[in-house]
Structure 1
Amino acid sequence: MASYSSRVRTDIARWLQVGLIDASTADALTRDVEANERKSLSFGSILAMIAALLFGAAVLIFVAANWQAIPRLARVAALFAIIFAGYVGGAVLKTRDHAAMGEALWIVAAAAFGGSIALIGQMYHLSGDEASALITWGAGTALAAVALRSNPLTVAAVGIADAWLFLKGFDYFSRAEFPHLFVVMASVLFAISFWSRSQAARHLIILSVIFYLVLLFTEYETLQVAVPLVVVSVLLFSAAIFAA
């Protein structure tokens, strides 16, 4: 069944053909439909993405369970094939007005990329910790969100950044380095959210900033640092609302 946006675009083309609207009006209506399509997430889209995440997890679990039985070259090829098929297949579905399934495949590809980092690191005994792997995973997902102008991928990138923040935050209580890098990550992702028109990502970033402020206040135990950041977070939240 064709999506709502697909039906509207078909109607716009028909209205233009029969002379009910002119070319400039048709172009404006089409741009508006595309903008709101990228901005919103329907219930069906959410279900498709949940299904995609479960499918991606199942594939990665299957690969991990049979990891030793698979030749090394085949392992790497299979992981990259999943990533490639997810992104390319999702793009094809998007162009054919199957936006929900296309976005879902992109989520599968992003999940496969994260799993690939862990599995390849294990296979080649690469040094590093979970936090470094999350940064690599988040950067790759953020780049994909920019390239594909994807709302769900932007949310996924923010979620990965949040996972890094929580991991470093709990490491902080073991006297690890404080996660100041999150300020840069949040700023970049906040800018990306405007490009991908992801209001959900902006709201999630604001919630993440609150947790960061809690950690910061615990570190320095002074309002001189926390209060300015609270003001900044309020301004960002206001900007997110007005830009919605």
Structure 2
Amino acid sequence: MASEKFRHQLRREADRWQAEGLIDETLYAELARRYQFDDLALSERNRFVAILIALGSILLGLAAIIFVAANWQVWSKEFKVASLVALFVGVNAVGFYLWQHPVERWQARLGKGLLLLGALIFGANLALMSQIFHRSGSLYHLFLVWSLGVLAMAYSLRLTFLGVLAILLASIGYVAGMITLFMPGEVSDFRIAIEHMPLLVSLLGIPLAYWCRSRWLFGLGAALVIFSLEASVIIFLANFINFSPGTRGMMGAIACSLPPALLWAYRDSLWNGSIEKLSFDEIARNLALFFISVLFYLFSFNGIWRPFSYRTGSEIAWHDWVKLLDILLLGGLTVWVWWRLGYRTSARWRLERKNAIVGAAILLIGVMVWWHLSVGALGAIATLIFNVLLFLFAVGFIRKGLATGHRISFWGGILLTVLQIVSRMLEYETDLLAKAIVLLFCGLGIIAAGLGFEKYLQTLKALRATNDE
């Protein structure tokens, strides 16, 4: 079935064609039957009803919250618990019934909305239950438990929006709990969850993306895995800054090269699963390219590569090394996926040209960071190399955008180029007149590039249409 927006546009055009005599009543009736013009009015009515129900539900929810707040101190503990449980069960039961047995389409939407409301009520119940029974805890405890409960709902109902909510709650809990990793103290389950968040999301969040067949869920889950992995390595380095030079360099190289290497080589086929018309490979590769672009941009600044001094000889307890379990497991997975990647096109291990170029760039990043932290500061040599790599990366994006007509690739390359020019101008001493001239040419260049690219897209579409004929 065509989208509702397209059907609305087609109905307006068909009415105009009939009025102008371009089509007769028979053809108009056939279009109306094929694209179900009569159902458009019903869809608009259902959407309006859904909006009214949503507004009414919000007002009812606010009324319930105010009523509970007004009587909260009067009610007994048993009545409070019973009310919270009844509210949670009732909202989810009604939502599940409407979602599974809708008489009309708006009822299914309302059911999903109630299930989302039930997931939010679950979090409120956790907070209120802890208050009732005087159980104190950190804020990130609440978000981690809340995300785990919503994740269980997402798995049982196979609903993407619940999975997205679970990932967002886990992200909030992780960011709120990161500070505990800097504090020595008693080991708890919540702290272990924060320390091993990359592994937990990989085992619980990524499979849910396949189960729900959701690209959004995979993208958010992969982003959380990479963010928490980077944070784990950086926090580990910050806690034990007095590493031996070799260990310090190795950890820095892992932090910069492991995430993009894992993302670029990741393939759905690794799990021998068949997913028709759905692939997360492109999402993983785009995240890898974004990560590499950010690294190239950061490493293009001269201040990153200045000499610095460390003390050496710190001892690290064995239980501190356990924090690197995620790095070992995900690093092993990275080696395996690159090994599999080399056998995709031939019986002998051989990388395709694009994979070899990206792999070489990642390897160069790791080697240069290791050398800088272990052997000695690279200084201007590293700055020059990464400025050249950043420029070549930007040119590659622009070429891809021109070859495929992909706007994001083209404008990504333009953005990298402009950022590089402006950053170098601001980093080094230049007078105001030079800065004004550079900004002027950058602005004119962006306008010219945009107009030229849009004109090129029109020519490309006309060429493709001619070839199809």
TM-score (norm 2): 0.37
Identify which of 68, 71, 77 aligns with 2:73.
68
Q: What CA distance in whole angstroms lies between the structure 2 residues aligned with 1:86 and 1:242?
A: 38
Q: 1:235 to 1:135 in 2, by over 3 A?
A: farther
User: What is the aligned partner in structure 2 of residue 180 from structure 1?
Assistant: 195
The one-letter code of the counterpart of 1:191 is: P
1:38 aligns with none
**2:429 alignment counterpart:** none
Provide closer, same or farther for how the CA distance between residues 225 and 197 of structure 1 changes in structure 2, counting only shifts above 3 A.
same
**Residue of structure 1 in register with 2:176 after alignment:** 167
Q: 1:86 to 1:51 in 2, by over 3 A?
A: same
Instruction: Confirm or deny that 1:216 pairs with 2:232.
Output: yes
Relative contact order higher in (CA < 8 Å, ≥ 6 apart): 1
Distance change in 2, residues 1:216/1:120 (3 Å): same
Distance 1:205 1:66, change over 3 A: farther
Match of residue 261 from structure 2: 231
1:53 & 1:112 partners in 2: Cα distance? 13
| 1:57 Cα offset (Å) | 7.3
Aligned residue for 1:107, secondary structure, equals helix
Is 2:92 the counterpart of 1:87?
yes
Q: Deviations over 1:19-63 (max 9, x none)?
A: xxxxxxxxxxxxxxxxxxxxxxxx99xx89x96996797455653
Give, in whole Å, the separation in 2 of the partners of 1:219 and 1:52. Answer: 47
Query: Does the 8 A contact of 1:90 with 1:102 survive in 2?
Result: yes
CA contact (8 A) 1:83 1:113 kept: yes
Aligned twin of 1:26: none
Distance 1:56 1:181 in 2: 41
Deviation at 1:78, TM superposition (A): 1.6
Residues 116-195 of structure 1 aligned to structure 2 (within 5 Å): 116-173=125-182, 179-187=194-202, 188-195=204-211
- Note if 1:198 corresponds to 2:214: yes
1:240 corresponds to which of 280, 297, 318: 280
Q: Distance in 1 between matches of 2:55 and 2:182?
A: 36
Contact 2:150 2:165 (8 Å CA) reproduced? yes
Name stretches of at least 5 consecutive residues in structure 1 with no aligned partner.
5-42
CA spacing shift, 1:62–1:168, aligned 2, 3 Å = farther
State the Cα distance separating 1:196 from its structure 2 match: 2.0
* Further displaced range: 200-209 or 102-111: 200-209
* Aligned-residue RMSD, C-alpha: 3.6
Point out the more displaced range, 80-89 or 125-134. 125-134
Instruction: Report how many aligned residue pairs link the two structures.
Output: 201
Q: Does the 8 Å CA contact 1:158/1:204 hold for their aligned counterparts?
A: yes
The question of whether the paired residues in 1 share the 8 Å contact of 2:199 and 2:225 is answered with no
Tell me, what secondary structure is at the counterpart of 1:128?
A: coil
The code of the aligned residue for 2:252 comes to L
Aligned-pair distance for 1:134?
Answer: 2.1
Higher alpha-carbon deviation: 61-70 or 200-209: 61-70
CA distance in structure 1 between the aligned counterparts of 2:147 and 2:197, rounded to whole angstroms: 12
Q: 1:116 to 1:215 in 2, by over 3 A?
A: same
Label 1:169 to 1:64 Cα distance change in 2 as closer, same or farther (>3 A): farther
Cα deviation, residue 116, structure 1: 0.7
> 2:88·2:122 contact (CA, 8 Å) conserved in 1?
yes
By how many angstroms is 1:240 displaced?
Answer: 2.4
- Residues 158 and 205, structure 1, Cα contact 8 Å, conserved in 2: yes
Q: Residues 182 and 62 (structure 1 numbering): CA distance in 2 closer, same or farther, change over 3 Å?
A: farther
- Paired residue type of 2:89: F
The residue correspondences of 1:42-81 to structure 2 (distance < 5 A) are: 58=62, 59-60=64-65, 63-64=68-69, 66-81=71-86
- Compare 117-126 and 216-225 and name the one that shifted more: 216-225
Query: Cα offset for 1:132?
Result: 2.4
Does the aligned pair in 2 maintain the 1:56–1:111 contact within 8 Å?
Answer: no
1:213: how far off? 3.7
Q: Over alpha carbons, which structure has the higher Rg?
A: 2
Query: 56-65 or 218-227, which moves further after superposition?
Result: 56-65
